[in-house]
Amino acid sequence: MAFVLSAERRAILDSLRPRYPNAKALTIPLLHICQEQEGWCSPEVIDFVAQELGVTGAHVQGVVTFYTMFLKEKPGKRVLWVCRTLSCELCGAKELQEHIEKHLGIHAGQTTTDGEFTLLKAECLAACGQGPMIQLDDDFFENLTNESVEAVIERAKKSSPKAAGKWSSLYLRGEKE
């Protein structure tokens, strides 16, 4: 089935067009908007972006595979990123990741059997002085221990995932400035 933007996201895309010198420059913003709607950059999203911007599918695929923030496989309801950059690594990120893997029963790059969590490794989550840290959906948790990360995960299990809206709201905020 072909991917189609919702009316709200179509309006965001239309508001962005005048702010970019050429359509190709919209590749990253449009991928964010599509991923926010679809949950990942499916082959249908890649085809849609290529057609919408008049660029090749290879260009869009190259962007998706280069940037780690674009998900190439359908994730669970919640995406948990473990920061594995050097400063977090020195604070115990590897051990924290291993603890999360045992707690969830999966390895990095996998999704739990119930489809609730996808665990991924991030190169940097920009909290170099507060490691180890994770990003769970759009929320950041710093200075974690095995016990505190378990508490974060257990709280998340008891609550509904937040509706995605991060990128659309950022692009709209930029429009209003």
How confident is the model at residue 166, as a pLDDT?
58
Average pLDDT over residues 62-82: 93
Q: What is the percent of the chain with per-residue pLDDT over 70, rounded to a whole number?
A: 91
Task: State the DSSP code for 18.
Answer: G
Tell me if 140 sits within 8 A of 133, measured CB to CB. yes
| Residue 10: count of CB within 10 angstroms of its CB | 13
**pLDDT (tens digit per residue) in 36-59:** 999 999 999 999 999 999 999 999
How confident is the model at residue 48, as a pLDDT?
98
Say whether pLDDT at 177 is over 90: no
Say whether pLDDT at 174 is over 60: no
How confident is the model at residue 170, as a pLDDT?
57
3-state secondary structure at position 140: strand
Tell me if 34 sits within 8 A of 45, measured CB to CB. yes
Say whether pLDDT at 176 is over 50: no
Conformation bin of residue 54: beta by default, left when phi > 0, alpha when psi is -120 to 50: left
C-alpha torsion angle, residues 164, 169, 172, 173 (rounded to 10): -170
Q: Is the pTM of this model over 0.85?
A: no
CA distance 68 to 53: 21
**pLDDT (tens digit per residue) in 108-145:** 999 999 999 999 999 888 888 999 999 998 899 999 99
Say whether pLDDT at 99 is over 90: yes
**pLDDT (tens digit per residue) in 16-35:** 999 998 999 999 999 999 99
Residue ranges and CATH numbers for the domains of the chain are 7-71 (1.10.10.1590), 78-157 (3.40.30.10)
**Which tokens is 128 given?**
């170099």
Beta bridge partners of residue 83, listed in sequence order: 122
